[in-house]
Amino acid sequence: MSEKTSRRDFIGMSFVGVTAVGAIFSLGAMKKSWDPLPSVLAGGFTTFDIDKVVKVAGTPVTVVWRGKPIFVLLKTSKMPKTNRDLVIGAKRYTLVIGICTHLGCIPAWEPKREIWKCACHGGEYNSSGKNIFGPPPRPLDLVPFSRKGTVLVLGETGPEYKKMLKVKL
């Protein structure tokens, strides 16, 4: 083998080596760009202890799940019971997505009437989230959740949520 040939081989091998390393780095970079960002992964779920977040019966609390308002209402004993209530011990909750099913406004709670009223076109929902007046075509939508004790994970589909989906208000 001449000196010229072995030099060419060396340059050729070096080129292959550099190319391979470059390809590995590129693949790594591509994979990073395909993977969801950590903030997106974490953004899929909202975890909270319902007992700590909702203390006063009859006054709904709003938590946020994937940028959406979620109404959590601890029902008073006077409020109508439904099979769509989340029951934990002796407590009954309404747990719904706080977006009007007509055109997507956010209804506000009216404490005197114990209803959510949508300011956009006057739609009304009772304390169970059932549409009772105006243009909304259906009750407030349920939010997927799972539960362990009093800790809820919004974004997971637990057995209670699956049961509630079958209930017609």
Tell me whether residue 117 or residue 147 sits nearer to ligand FES (CB atom).
Answer: 117
User: In the beta sheet, which residues pair with residue 151?
Assistant: 49, 148
The neighbouring-strand residues paired with 38 are: none
Q: Who contacts 64 (Cβ-Cβ below 8 Å, separation ≥6)?
A: 46, 70
Q: What single DSSP character describes residue 70?
A: E
Instruction: Report if residue 144 touches ligand FES, rule: CB under 6 A.
Output: no
CB of 94 within 8 A of CB of 75?
yes
Least spacing, CB of residue 81 vs ligand FES, in Å: 25
The least CB distance from residue 34 to ligand FES, in Å, is 37
Residues 46-85 that bind ligand FES (CB under 6 A): none
Q: Give the single-character DSSP code of 76.
A: P
Minimum CB distance to ligand FES, residue 75 (Å): 23
Query: Which residues ranging from 117 to 136 are in contact with ligand FES (CB under 6 A)?
Result: 118, 120-121, 123, 134-136
**For ligand FES, which residue of 42, 103, 108, 167 counts as binding (CB under 6 A)?**
103
Q: Which residues pair with 113 in a beta bridge?
A: none
In sequence order, what are the residues at sequence separation of 6 or more whose Cβ sits closer than 8 angstroms to the Cβ of residue 72? Answer: 50, 53, 54, 60, 61, 62, 63, 93, 94, 95
Q: Three-state SS for 136? A: coil
Q: Smaller CB distance to ligand FES: residue 85 or 136?
A: 136
Interface with ligand FES by CB under 6 A: which range of 18-26, 28-36, 114-122, 141-149? 114-122
Residue of 75, 65, 135 whose CA lies nearest to 105 = 135
Of the pair 50, 140, the CB lying nearest ligand FES is at 140
User: How many of the chain's residues bind ligand FES (CB under 6 A)?
Assistant: 12
Q: Which residues bind ligand FES (CB under 6 A)?
A: 100, 102-105, 118, 120-121, 123, 134-136
